[in-house]
Amino acid sequence: MANMIPYSRMTPHERELEYQEVRAEYELLKERGLKLNMARGKPGKEQLDMVSGIFERMLTPEEYLSDGEDVRNYGELAGLPAARRLFADILGCKPEQVFVGGNASLQLMYDTITKAFTHGLLHSERPWHKEGMLRWLCPAPGYDRHFRITADFGFEMINIPMTPTGPDMDIIEEAVKDPSVKGIWCVPKYSNPDGIIYSEETIHRLADLKPAAPDFLIMWDNAYVVHEFDGEYIPFPDMLSICQQHGHPDMVIEFASTSKITLPGAGVSCFACSEDNMSYLKRLLSVQAISFDKVNQQRHVLYLKNKENTLNLMRKHAEILRPKFKCVLDTLEREIAPLDIAEWNRPKGGYFVSLNAMPGTARRTLKLCRNAGVTMTPAGATFPYGLDPNDSNIRIAPSFPPLDELQQAGEVFCTCLKLAALKQLRSGPLPGRQNILPRSSEENKYKRNAPDFNKASGFTAPKEQKNY
């Protein structure tokens, strides 16, 4: 690249030359006929091979016993006591607050919302299906599958901007005064996709919320609680006891799983909650199941043993993941940083890099990627209804492809980012710096409009969700 100066500082003529050069580069990349995927946060093969020693457990009759009980038989709806102890150790709560379920925490989350609709939660005045309009707070960018659940149940989803310390608490404190606001999605450690760790202040303000709805629920999805890939494990406070301290022990249900510790889709999930919530939910769950897969729970207990051993395993995952994240971040630093057309986070854990491209260019960038054989998470997916108001946020998932593929995919992605930015600059006025990273300047706009932001921006839920 001849000119590594910000595009906004180039003359129109220089930009035109740059455009021709990047266009030619893009055509060459297209000719490679690539077929690469940076779309979903899946562990790579090397990680899966590394944990497949889990299948060497459960080979002797003694290994079918846990605390004297045969794990192969019915019983223990809330999970093997040993599995409850393991998750309590990892999450920092009490074993009796843990319910160990099946293979996916997402299913437990979906099930929780379903139960609120069919039966109501512990403090509900009526089942949610008997209520009128329901609203849900969605820190965004966020996890697309969370948004799909609340979209599916017909909530009006309210965008809550993320800040470097977690979701914007000023807006949340205002929004919960509305009794139709029933809950919030939270990924408190290494949020998906921003990789943000909620600050102590944010956590305490969440626990101290005074919602108008008596059954307001914090869905505390601690999916990345032990998932550092760069640097030491960062201990994280137990939200259950913090909510208890603030006098709201039943306002939170926490979720976690071993999907990215052992095997996604073949791991073990759990939820954790107050003892009162536990008795209530266990009663409902006892109608739907006699017990979950305790054989898999036992396999995990024998393999993971305790938090310390789990953290040792996570250090091995980190060895594999760190170079992949470094590869993506180094490419962005080299190719994009000097041009000032995007900004991105530099996470130390989790599974994603979240990038904000020049507003109005995310869709175009990803279409260019697709046409050059690189699949990425669709633009907009990190926002409720798949609608990013700035068409800016792009989620990069570096975990799955091998390093050499990642290198190529990174190159294609950067070329597409440049091309989309140059096209945008060709057709519109020069963006000032405020247009480049929308987050901080846009926050004020969100603040003014929240919680009516969705209405103000004309959001409507599409009939059918596409692209997921």
Ligand X SMILES: Cc1ncc(COP(=O)(O)O)c(C=O)c1O
CB of 311 to ligand X, least distance (A): 19
Among 143, 280, 385, 453, binds ligand X (CB under 6 A): 143
Closest approach of Cβ 141 to ligand X, in Å?
A: 12
In the complex, which residue's CB is closest to ligand X? 257
- Interacting residues with ligand X between 247 and 266 (CB under 6 A): 257, 259, 264
If the CB atoms of residues 225 and 251 are measured against ligand X, the closer one turns out to be 225
Closest C-alpha to 244, from 270, 222, 279, 218: 218
Return the bridge partners of 342, or none.
357
Question: Strand, helix or coil at 22?
Answer: helix
- Which two tokens mark 246? 């603030």
Give the nearest distance from C-beta 40 to ligand X in angstroms.
7
User: Nearest distance from residue 16's CB to ligand X, in Å?
Assistant: 41
Instruction: Give 219's strand partners.
Output: 185, 253
DSSP for residue 103: S
- Judged by beta carbon, residue 144 or residue 238, the one nearer ligand X is 144
Task: Say how many C-beta atoms besides its own lie within 10 A of residue 170's C-beta.
Answer: 12
x/- map, 208-237, ligand X, by CB under 6 A: -------------x-x--------------
User: Of 192 and 390, which CB lies nearer to ligand X in the complex structure?
Assistant: 192
Cβ proximity to ligand X, 189 vs 439, nearer residue: 189
Measured CA to CA, the distance from residue 49 to residue 164 in angstroms comes to 35
Nearest approach in angstroms of CB 149 to ligand X is: 11
**Which 259-298 residues touch ligand X, going by CB under 6 A?**
259, 264, 269
Rounded CA separation 381/14 (Å) = 34
Supply the minimum distance, in Å, between the C-beta of residue 350 and ligand X: 8
The secondary element (H helix, E strand) that includes residue 254 is strand 252-257
Residue 382 touches ligand X, criterion: CB under 6 A: no
CA 340 to chain centre: 26
Do residues 340 and 436 touch, judged by C-beta distance below 8 A? yes
φ, ψ for residue 270, nearest 5 deg = -150, 160
Which position among 192, 262, 345, 377 is part of the footprint of ligand X (CB under 6 A)? Answer: 192
Nearest by Cα to 301 from 58, 104, 52:
58
Q: Which residues, 6 or more positions from 340, have their beta carbon under 8 angstroms from its beta carbon?
A: 6, 7, 8, 433, 436
Using CB under 6 A as the binding rule, the residues of this chain from 23 to 52 that contact ligand X are 41
Q: Which residues does 122 contact at the CB level (< 8 Å), separation at least 6?
A: 215, 250, 276, 277, 280
Stretch near ligand X under the rule CB under 6 A, chosen from 98-106, 236-244, 294-302, 303-311: 98-106
Pick out residues in 104-123 that bind ligand X (CB under 6 A): 104-106
Owner of token pair 């925490």: 105
Distances (CA, A) of 365 to 9, 36, 388, 390: 21, 15, 14, 14
Nearer to ligand X, 227 or 423 (CB): 227
Token output for 353? 């890099």
- Give the range of 43-51, 103-111, 405-413, 433-441 binding ligand X by CB under 6 A: 103-111
Give me the least distance between CB of 337 and ligand X, in Å please: 27
H/E segment holding residue 36: strand 36-38
- Window contacting ligand X (CB under 6 A); options: 4-12, 100-108, 426-434, 448-456: 100-108
Of 83 and 341, which CB lies nearer to ligand X in the complex structure? 83
Shortest distance (Å) from residue 91 CB to ligand X: 14
**Binding-site size, ligand X (CB under 6 A):** 13
Residues that bind ligand X (CB under 6 A): 41, 104-106, 143, 187, 192, 221, 223, 257, 259, 264, 269
